[in-house]
Amino acid sequence: QKEVEQNSGPLSVPEGAIASLNCTYSDRGSQSFFWYRQYSGKSPELIMFIYSNGDKEDGRFTAQLNKASQYVSLLIRDSQPSDSATYLCAVRNSGGSNYKLTFGKGTLLTVNP
């Protein structure tokens, strides 16, 4: 069973702080990694993807990937109340089933004004 685990949360940070969301995965051959944001009652929205080791920055968001440690994280700088949502980590596995994504259960982030 190829699994994706996220820090259980909920995570609460003050406005303007850095929020750090973490994800580990079991399939060492995983190829692509995605972060989705899901507001309550809405569908997931893709915010970042990464497939090479290191950091990838997009505005206030930075995704970090360490394939040796099978670890991917999302940093949100200058957190805003509008960032309050559930963040889902998703992994594209290796092998024959490499067209599907496996999702973690999500981490609920609350940014307090």
Partner 1 sequence: KAGVTQTPRYLIKTRGQQVTLSCSPISGHRSVSWYQQTPGQGLQFLFEYFSETQRNKGNFPGRFSGRQFSNSRSEMNVSTLELGDSALYLCASSLSASGSSYEQYFGPGTRLTVT
Binding site for partner 1 (CB under 8 A): 32, 34, 36, 42-46, 49, 51, 88, 90, 92, 97-106
Cβ proximity to partner 1, 96 vs 113, nearer residue: 96
Cβ proximity to partner 1, 77 vs 105, nearer residue: 105
Q: Which of 19, 14, 41, 32 is nearest to 89 (CA)?
A: 32
| Shortest distance in whole angstroms from residue 17 CB to partner 1 | 27
| Shortest distance in whole angstroms from residue 5 CB to partner 1 | 11
Q: Which residue pairs, CB below 8 angstroms and at least 24 apart, start in 5-11? A: 5/104, 6/87, 6/88, 6/89, 6/104, 6/105, 6/106, 6/107, 7/107, 8/105, 8/107, 9/106, 9/107, 9/108, 9/109, 10/107, 10/108, 10/109, 10/110, 11/107, 11/108, 11/109, 11/110
Cβ proximity to partner 1, 28 vs 105, nearer residue: 105
Cβ proximity to partner 1, 50 vs 76, nearer residue: 50
| Shortest distance in whole angstroms from residue 2 CB to partner 1 | 11
| Shortest distance in whole angstroms from residue 53 CB to partner 1 | 15
